[in-house]
Structures are given as C-alpha cells and as structure tokens.
Amino acid sequence: MTEDRLYSKEHEWILPLGEDVVRVGITDYAVKQLGDVVYVEVPEVDAEVSVGSEMGTVESIKSASEIFAPVTGIILAVNEELEDAPELVNASPFEGGWFAEIQLENPVELEGLLNEENYHAYVAELAIEEEA
C-alpha cells in the first residue's frame, strides 16, 4: 500500500497524477484474491466511464473479475503492456500493473474514496467476515 493513493471498496487504487488526471489499478488484496493473472482487458482510449461502471476485466487461473471505474471521466491512456504481460498485475499491482489513466469529469468524486488507513480497516473487516 502507498499513502499517495485512494481506494475503492471494489479494491481499485486511484493515484492522482495532477491536472485532474488519475491512474487506476487493483490492490494487492484483489490480486491475492484472484491468484495468477493470465489475461487483462483494459478499456479503450477515449471511452467514457462513470463511477461503478465496468471498465475492464481481469482473468486469473481461478476466476474472472470486472474492473469498475472508481471515478467518472474519459480514458486518456491504458497500460498496453498488460496485453502481452498480464502477470505485471501480480508482480507489481501498484506500479507496472496499472490499468488506465482517467481525466476526471468531477474531481469531487475523489472525496468519496477511502484513504489508506480506511481501506486497511475495510479489508480487515472483510477478513473477519470471511472467517465467520
């Protein structure tokens, strides 16, 4: 985890890059739940996304999982390396394994996301629920 990021309850991380642009990926918690990633579908550049809408898919040897947009905006860039090297998501979920960069339509949406401390608490609650 890194303190410069925000997090969604769907286990996406959001890294503000400035000029109302954010980079999005999935957390190490999500990666551990998925297992070895074998395929990643990223959104199209210039696609419009809105909070909670599907913007891609991650497939692992165990399952497939949708990637949900944590913010509303337009896709500026995607991580094309994932097409040939989906394992980057496992090896480096917070660096090389990012999915997309989004131009925010409504920067105030960032206020609804979790900081690192709150995300850790949320994941801890999930762990307790799983044990019950």
As assigned by CATH, the class of the 6-131 domain is: mainly beta
Residue labelled with tokens 């959104």: 43
d(C-alpha 20, C-alpha 125), whole Å: 31
| Percent residues over pLDDT 70 in the chain | 97
Bridge partners, 99 (sequence order): none
Query: Could you tell me the pTM of the whole model?
Result: 0.92
Split at pLDDT 50, 70, 90, the class of 2 is low
pLDDT at 39 over 60: yes
Give, in order, the Cα–Cα distances in Å from 68 to each of 107, 129, 131.
17, 23, 26
| Average pLDDT of every residue of the chain | 94
Q: Assess contact for 32 and 26: CB atoms under 8 A.
A: no
The encoded tokens of residue 49 equal 């996304």
For the chain, the structural domain boundaries read 6-131
Name, in order, each residue with C-beta under 8 angstroms of 88's C-beta and a sequence gap of 6 or more: 79, 81, 82, 96, 97
pLDDT at 119 over 60: yes
Give, in order, the Cα–Cα distances in Å from 27 to each of 6, 13, 106.
10, 6, 23
d(C-alpha 5, C-alpha 94), whole Å: 10
pLDDT at 79 over 60: yes
